Amino acid sequence: MLGNIHSTESFGTVDGPGIRFVIFFQGCPMRCLYCHNPDTWEIKPNQQISADDLLAQYRRNSEFYRNGGITATGGEPMLQMPFLTELFQKAKAGGIHTCLDTSGICFEPAHPEKYDALMAVTDLVMLDIKQIDDAAHRKLTGHSNENILAFAQYISEKGVPIWIRHVIVPAWTDSADEQYRLGEFIGGLRTLKGLDVLPYHDFGRQKYDALGIDYPLKNTEPVSVETAAKARQEILRGIRHRLKSDAT
């Protein structure tokens, strides 16, 4: 089995715990306005690589990954479920920590059993929740968030640790009310282990220029670390409220 892979990064430090071998899968159905990897959107063959070849690349630097592992990101790795599952199965057989960085958009709530084999060999899911409000999510990404939120609950029910990521984008995700609502939702995930609240940046803009694509947020200023930290506190406030409510 071959996977359509955009690229790899040998020493990733922001894609899960420790130093990691990061695999960028090709193809993504989402069209997030602030996406910094538009070159991974198209669902087409790029580099076709086997799981064994990817693991061989990992092993060349395995001494550096003692506290890390492999992260599958993209693009959207779950577009290539059979290959992703095979990759993680072989990684786990070799004692390698596996992390799935996903939007969850490919999840089918009517058929959760389709994802059981993958979850059985996934040590951590880094789930990007773009927007808690469904209407705003549709405008921001081109898709409903219904399947994404259902996936979060499915991961929790499977007992797989979840690390939530959320980007603060001016006029799109900077509402304190929506941040609080996001906190209330993720506070109900019993395997929640981490929360990254990231400031919007426009580092990917050069890629849009190179691809001849109009950058949708060209008039949007980057967000400060302080603003993201304030938003994180609002999300935490929602989490605490949910935990308190569930306890009573």
pLDDT in tens, 159-204: 999 999 999 999 999 999 999 999 999 999 999 999 999 999 988 8
Q: What is the rounded distance in angstroms from the CA atom of residue 56 to the CA atom of residue 5? A: 15
Q: Summarize the confidence of residues 121-143 as an average pLDDT.
A: 97
CA distance 122 to 161: 9
- Pick one of 3.20.20.20, 3.20.20.70, 3.40.50.2000, 3.30.460.80 as the CATH number of 2-247: 3.20.20.70
Task: Enter the DSSP assignment of 188.
Answer: T
The values of phi and psi at residue 196, to 5°, are -110, 120
Q: What percent of the chain has pLDDT over 70?
A: 100
**In whole angstroms, what is the distance from residue 238 CA to residue 241 CA?**
5
pTM of the model: 0.95
Residue 132 clears pLDDT 90, i.e. is over it: yes
- Whether omega before 16 lies within 30 degrees of 0, making that bond cis, reads no
What is the rounded average pLDDT of the residues 1-26? 95
Q: What is the mean pLDDT of the chain?
A: 96
- Name the pairing type of β-strands 98-102 and 47-50: unpaired
Identify the band that residue 46 occupies on the pLDDT scale cut at 50, 70 and 90.
confident
What pLDDT, on a 0 to 100 scale, did the predictor assign at position 18? Answer: 95
Q: What is the pLDDT of residue 203?
A: 86
In the chain, domain spans = 2-247
Report the alpha-carbon distance of residue 72 to residue 124 in Å, rounded.
11
What is the C-alpha to C-alpha distance for residues 7 and 33, in angstroms, rounded to an integer? Answer: 22
Whole-number pLDDT of residue 248? 85
Residue 2: pLDDT band (50, 70, 90) is: very high
